[in-house]
Structure 1
Amino acid sequence: MLVAMNEKKQIINLLENTAPQGSFCCPGCGGAVRLKKRKIMRPHFAHISLKDCAYYSENESDQHLMLKSSLYSWLNAHDEVELEKCLPDLGQVADLLVNHRLALEVQCSSLSISRLQARTKSYQEAGVQVLWLLGKELWLGKRLTKLQEQFLSFSYNMGFYLWELDDKKNELRLHYLIHQDLRGRLQYVTKRFPFHQGRLLTILRSPYAQQRPASFEGRQDRTIASYIARQLKYRNPYWMQLQAVAYAQGENLLSKSVTDFYPQIRLPQSEHGFAQIHQDLAPVYQAFEDFYQQQKNKDQQVLVPPSVYLNRK
């Protein structure tokens, strides 16, 4: 915890007051807390009693504390921001609450999909927008995990996108135009924003700002037909299901060529839905399919934002 309440019921912020005096309590549960200063971790408050607190965690990593501190100082230069804002009506604490209406959550460790969905829904029902910014443990790898799917956001200018925080390089990263190939591997574009350069709120709104459409050429897999044949041989459930659909249409995946699987690189889909996305994506998936089926050159796939293929219809 980087905040606590003093005897006068005032919130003490360790980023503003590095050496507070007196006794302190938790703004959430009201339990007594003490100030801890260590060489390894930055100064922070911790509960004296080991009883559970429903609001503040006792297991925050130094990465989490450092990232919250960096974002707070970045935001504080331009906007009204509250650090570790306790929201009793929601039963949770926002890592950073900006201008009373935007919650920034710095997520450095795994959590259950149901917990993530519940926290997101709670914010939204209270009229508070929430953005999840991911620490190292949750950075994108070669494939999307089920949990990472829930952190995806969507805009017509940048397609599916996701935010990462890097406390070592002191930068915020925006991965956008996120797509998956038929093997499930990710392809996307990245923008990097050094901490404290520019207004953070403007950067976070950039996926929705008017801009020139970005694009990139996706990597094509010339061996995709043989890969799919192997998956059917090993009775991979995903490809067995697609084979059943093909059979119902009088087709066979084993008889198809590489160009028959175009487009190889496609939009992400989730069996759980997307916690951060509320618009109906059905027209987007259909417009994507129509757009690439109309392409004459099936040896190349240039990935563009949804604004491009939706405007063509």
Structure 2
Amino acid sequence: MLVAQNEQGQSVCLVEHQAVVGQKFFCLGCGSPVRLRKGQVIRAHFAHVSLKNCQYFSENESAQHLQLKTGLYQWALKYSKAELEKRLPEIEQIADILLGEKLALEVQCSSLAIERLQERTRSYQQAGYQVLWLLGEDLWLKTRLTNLQKQFLYFSKYVGFFLWELDARSQKLRLRYLIHEDLHGRVQCLSKEFPLGVGSLLALLRFPYRRQRGLVFKGKHDVRLQDYIARKLRYQSPKWMAVQAQLYQEGRNLLTQSLDDFYPQIRPPQSRAGFVQVQQDVTDYYANFQTYYQQLARKDEQYLYPPIFYQTILKKNLI
């Protein structure tokens, strides 16, 4: 933590003030004692003597977390009102950064329980705050979307499903957008990077909610998909066994399906638990997506577009 209270009840911010060595400091949330730590590797920060009675912090922060939080705060201050480690007593949380009055930025560098993430997000939402989670290196999007990463996904009609990543080493804010999954469960998407500290942070965070011109990419199809599915059935993959059972009820067999029957191979993410960051109704998007590709005559390639494209083209009956 970078902000604590001294014995006189004053807030001391290590990003803005020189802390006085020897003073006693306390957590702004729980009031428990914290120690000032200063070292060669990790920046000066406060750490709880004991986290046992603190409901605001579950663990002491990593060097990456402290570095990224400090950088974001200093960046935000250039163009906007920002508060570091803002205590929000009505929801018993401390926002890493409160941008303006109602936008909370949370830097998440380590894994956490999905239930805890959902609880924290809904607390923000119910109190009228918007929360943006920005992910540290251990949570970056790799080959596949984990169930936890799906709970960090946001949605916009202009860029589809997206999430934010922070890179402490290259000093970049990275947007992963138009996120889709193929039938192997692998991610296909676009990426855009922004240098930390350049331009208005608030303006960049609004990027996914602005109309983008010519936003499209060509997905990678698997021409040997049927062989892959046959192997999965041989090893009794729960996912493909469930598909096979459904087709049996319809009088069909998964192993006799043509490659075209699996079109489109690349699809928007699905989550049985829903998407806690997504407050819009995305039902029409899924329906428009499927309808568009079903009406295409050519099924040997697939171009991916933002949700507004499918809505517009189907409304105008341009296929």
* TM bucket normalised to smaller: over 0.9
Task: Render the CA deviation track for 1:145-192: whole Å, top value 9, x for unaligned.
Answer: 110010000000000001000000000000000000000010000000
Alignment identity in percent?
A: 55
* Letter aligned with residue 217 of structure 1: K
State the shift of 1:310 in Å: 1.1
For 1:220, what is the secondary structure of its paired residue? coil
Superimposed CA distance per residue, residues 46-83 of structure 1 (whole angstroms, 9 cap, x where no aligned partner): 23456432223542100000000000000010111111
- 1:112 aligned onto 2:94: no
- Give the C-alpha shift of residue 23 in structure 1: 3.2
The alignment's TM-score, normalised by the length of structure 1, stands at 0.96
- Structure 1 stretches of 4+ moved >6 Å: none
Task: Give yes or no for contact 1:213–1:305 (8 Å, CA) kept in 2.
Answer: no
Verify the 8 A CA contact 2:51 2:57 in the aligned structure 1: no
Partner of 2:317: none
Q: Quick check: 1:15 aligned with 2:15?
A: yes
Q: Is the contact made by 1:291 and 1:309 (CA closer than 8 Å) also made in structure 2?
A: yes
Deviates more, 1:20-29 or 1:264-273: 20-29
**Matched pairs, number:** 313
Q: Aligned ranges for residues 166-181 of structure 1 at < 5 Å?
A: 166-181=167-182
Letter in 2 for 1:75: A
Tell me what 2:153 maps to. 152
Once the two structures are superposed, the pairs formed by residues 126-137 of structure 1 within 5 Å of their partners are 126-137=127-138
Quick one: distance in 2 between partners of 1:50 and 1:149? Answer: 29
Could you say if the C-alpha distance between residues 48 and 230 of structure 1 is closer, same or farther in structure 2, counting changes exceeding 3 Å? Answer: closer
- Unaligned ranges ≥5, structure 1: none
Post-superposition CA distance 1:83-135 (Å, at most 9, x none): 11111211111111111200101000000000000000000000000000000
Structure 2 residue aligned with 1:184: 185
- CA displacement at 1:31 relative to structure 2: 2.2
Partner amino acid, structure 2, of 1:298:
K
Cα contact 1:165–1:172 (8 A) shared by 2: yes
CA contact (8 A) 1:181 1:266 kept: yes
Q: Which runs of 5+ in 2 are unaligned?
A: 315-319
Q: Give the distance between the partners of 2:68 and 2:29, measured in 1 at CA.
A: 22
Q: Indicate whether 1:6 and 2:6 are aligned.
A: yes
Alignment partner of 1:26 is 2:27: yes
> What's the Cα RMSD here?
1.4
* TM-score, length of structure 2 as denominator length: 0.95
Match of 2:46 in 1: 45
Give the distance between the partners of 1:58 and 1:24, measured in 2 at CA: 17
Q: Is the Cα contact below 8 Å between 2:43 and 2:63 reproduced in 1?
A: yes
CA distance, structure 2, for counterparts of residue 57 and residue 234 of structure 1: 40
